[in-house]
Structure 1
Amino acid sequence: MRHAFVTGAGSGIGRAIALALASDGMRVTLAGRRAGPLEAVAGEIAAAGGDSLVIGGFDVTDPKAVEAGVSKSLAWGGDVGVLVNCAGEAPSAPFEKTGLDLWNRVIGINLTGMFLVTQALLPSIRRTGSGRIVNVASTAGLTGYAYVSAYCASKHGVIGLTRALALELARTDVTVNAVCPGFTDTPLLDGAVDTITDKTGRSRDEARASLARANPQGRLVTPDEVASTVMWLVAEGSTAITGQAIPVAGGEVMGG
């Protein structure tokens, strides 16, 4: 049985990915800062006959917390064959009002945290054969958006890290890819909705509609659609797919 490790697994995209991995027969380590949401996901997995481990207090910016969580996970489920880095946040602020604390926090969670978790798990992933690493980036890693400079910078960094590591591991059996969701119907989106309503006075429904218009299909992406893309990338038949940053955004961003 393959063992998958998912950060940010308590809600939104991370939750959808964890449920999809479990439904495919994998045992899943659910890692995140808050135990409550992770326990809820573990309950859903158990109800469907799956197996999972909850690791709360998993702060991706804290090397000691990462080391402890990884050790607990390996002792429970053996070597990890699938790593999905999904932990992240997306605060909004004009560039001139983006303080160093905010900048460092976003880079720390979205990029440095991904580095720490991947580095801690890579020896295990390499031992499994056909290892898979999938980094949840964003269309913000492929283009620019106003008022989220730290977020855009961090997600561009995620894609750069993905491509560099993919080349380092190209002659092994480990692939490294990124998925880049557009505006997705998750709790993280609520922060963007709050910002729009506060600054414009528009209703929440109007704010959500304005975000949906960025997608040429005229809608928000669903977490399950992102999870489906991840499942394709971790499949045994996807060995030739590595170093890619795949938009899941209804045509908002297209490769040149």
Structure 2
Amino acid sequence: MDLNGKHALITGGGTGIGLAIAKALAEAGAEVTITGRRKEVLEKVAGGRIHALAMDVADEASVVEGFASAVAARGQIAICVANAGIAEGKALHKMDMAFWRKVIGINLDGAYLTMREAMKSMTGLEYGRVIAIASIAGIKGLRGAPAYTASKHGMIGLVRGLSEDYMGTPITFNAICPGYVDTAIVSENTVSIAARAGITEEQALKMMVQTNRHQRLITPEEVAHTAMYLCDPNSGSINGQTMEIAGGQM
């Protein structure tokens, strides 16, 4: 795949899935802008075709300014990956409005703002790819995490709606829905699940691993491979779809 001359922007691109996708796109020749709240994290992995840009997807002004800066520096955005998000679980009766808004604000509102600003740049291009990194929680309910589940269902709804709005154009919208991926988020959740459930961290990790049908954590590179497939110019007929990466049928 030759992506020379194409500008890609990935939110939450400094670690985990976002970084794996950034590396794959850069290797294919794209100029890649990676964003996140912590510039120092981004700058550690930037270099070559990967460029760091501090941006907070939960802050509308930050997203508007961030996209304008990226476009000014590297041209129209042809590939947009809405990857930034948080994975925090809390039972319904233990949630307050602040927790609900935090999860929805980052995961769903952040995806909306990211795609909205990307489309301002993409309109008129002969090739465009918008990819949301959702979750298997967007396909089914995730026990103990109703806010997270709702946010990921919302992301998939957003993708499907936009795919209809832009049907017949060169721009496609799809969602990747991984199970548990071997990233820092899983490490953090191992600690929080163990504390909430009164079990060991080893037992908490085993619970997550067993959710993946093939009984192992998914690698960020496996998710990146799927993203690259969707970015292929020959994948233009895949639109408004969910790509599940869970080691087996859900």
TM range (shorter): over 0.9
Tell me the SS of whatever aligns to 1:145.
coil
Instruction: Name 1:5's counterpart in structure 2.
Output: 9
Query: What is the CA–CA distance in structure 2 between the aligned matches of 1:199 and 1:109, rounded to whole Å?
Result: 23
Post-superposition offset of 1:26: 0.5
User: Is residue 35 of structure 1 aligned with residue 32 of structure 2?
Assistant: no
Q: Does 1:55 align with 2:59?
A: no
Measured after TM superposition, the shift of residue 244 of structure 1 is 0.2
Equivalent residues of 1:215, 1:252 under 8 A apart: no
Give the one of 144, 158, 169 matched to 2:141: 144
- How far apart are the structure 1 equivalents of 2:128 and 2:114? 15
Q: Aligned residue for 1:167?
A: 164
Corresponding residue number in structure 1 for 2:131 = 134
User: How many angstroms apart in 2 are the aligned matches of 1:34 and 1:127?
Assistant: 32
Percent identity between the aligned chains? 39
* Structure 2, gaps ≥5 residues long: none
**Amino acid of the structure 2 residue aligned with 1:31:** T
Within 5 A, what are the aligned runs for 1:96-135?
A: 96-135=93-132
Which of 22, 25, 34 is the aligned partner of 1:18? 22
Cα displacement string for residues 90-119 of structure 1 (whole angstroms, at most 9, x for unaligned residues): 111111001100100111110111111111
- SS of residue in 1 equivalent to 2:100: helix
Q: Does 1:217 align with 2:221?
A: no
Q: Gaps (5+ residues) in structure 1?
A: none
What SS class does the counterpart of residue 124 from structure 2 fall into? helix
Q: Give the TM-score normalised by structure 1.
A: 0.93
Whole-Å separation in 2 of the counterparts to 1:252 and 1:78: 40
Q: Quote the Cα distance in structure 2 between the aligned partners of 1:64 and 1:234.
A: 28
Return the TM-score normalized by structure 2.
0.95
Q: CA deviation at 1:193?
A: 0.5
Whichever residue aligns with residue 60 of structure 2, its letter is P
Shift of 1:155: 0.2
Runs (4 or more) in structure 1 with deviation over 3 Å come to: 199-203
CA distance in 1, matches of 2:102, 2:199: 29
Instruction: Say if 2:244 is the partner of 1:233.
Output: no
Report the Cα offset of residue 242 of structure 1. Answer: 0.3
Moved more, 184-193 or 170-179: 184-193
Kindly tell me the number of residue pairs found equivalent between the two proteins.
246
Distance 1:170 1:34 in 2: 36
**d(CA) in 1 for partners of 2:140 and 2:224?**
22
Q: Structure 1 counterpart of 2:213, which letter?
A: P
Alignment of 1:58-73 (within 5 A): 58-73=55-70
Q: 1:77: which partner in 2?
A: 74
